[in-house]
Amino acid sequence: MHGKLFAHTLLAALCVSTLAARARAQGDALMPFIEGRTTRVVDGDTIVINNAATGQPVRVRLVGTDAPEPSQPAGAESRRRLESLVGVGVLRVEFKFTDRYGQVLGRVYRDGEDINHAQLAGGMAWFRTALINELSAEDRRLFEQTEREARAARRGLWKENAPVAPWDFRRAHKISEDPRDEPPPAAPATRPTKRPPPVRRKKPLTTKAQRTRRMS
């Protein structure tokens, strides 16, 4: 099931990467976008949405951010924060690039709120880009300044004295960034079925005459 889901995600990513290539050729005026609802929050910088136009899952990395790994301090908190930000509403993902794994490198918006920026402002991710032109010069300055402000205010992961950057953590623990190497998502917990209490059979009532005959 995990492999099948990844195959669908990769196929959808190939389609959106074609749109991204056209946008780069024609300029940012035709910035492609995807709209849909979140089906899974992988960690503090990655989500899977259901593309409303195609019905296919699309894996999205929040461009300009790198959140702690789930096994790092603040990793679970970062994921929960992203879950609360994306919610259950319709998201808009604007993008120009896909990465080497087929993931969309997107700017995620919900009701006009910039989710990427919100993660940085809350101290739930580092500012980081894999490609020099992932963001405009203006947005790079904004994201860098936002991270500095979160550090100074000791918000989120910056409460620690010396938090380990996720790229250093991955290198030290040999953690792959390839989605195909991830374990499948855990199945939702199910409550054990309660058995009905045993039915107690009542003894038939007997008359005094019947009891006397039994004793005789």
CATH assignment at residue 74: 2.40.50.90
Do the domain assignments include residue 103? yes
Contact 14, 7 (CB under 8 A): no
Both tokens of residue 161? 């004295």
Do the domain assignments include residue 197? no
Q: Is the pLDDT of residue 43 over 80?
A: yes
DSSP-derived pairing of the beta strands 104-110 and 57-62: parallel
Do the domain assignments include residue 124? yes
Name which of 47-61, 91-105, 172-186 the model is least confident about.
172-186
Contacts 24+ apart (CB under 8 A), 185-193: 185/2, 185/40
Q: Give the pLDDT band of residue 132 (cuts 50, 70, 90).
A: confident
Q: What is the pTM of this model?
A: 0.72
Number of domains in the chain: 1
Taking the C-alpha atoms of residue 179 and residue 101, their distance in angstroms, rounded to an integer, is 7
Do the domain assignments include residue 211? no
Range of the domain at 145: 2-184
Dump pLDDT digits (tens) for 139-163: 999 999 999 999 999 999 999 999 9
Q: How far is CA 33 from its chain centroid?
A: 18
Dump pLDDT digits (tens) for 73-131: 999 999 999 999 999 999 999 999 998 899 999 999 999 999 999 999 999 999 998 77
Do the domain assignments include residue 67? yes
Do the domain assignments include residue 113? yes
Name which of 9-13, 47-51, 203-207, 211-215 the model is least confident about.
9-13
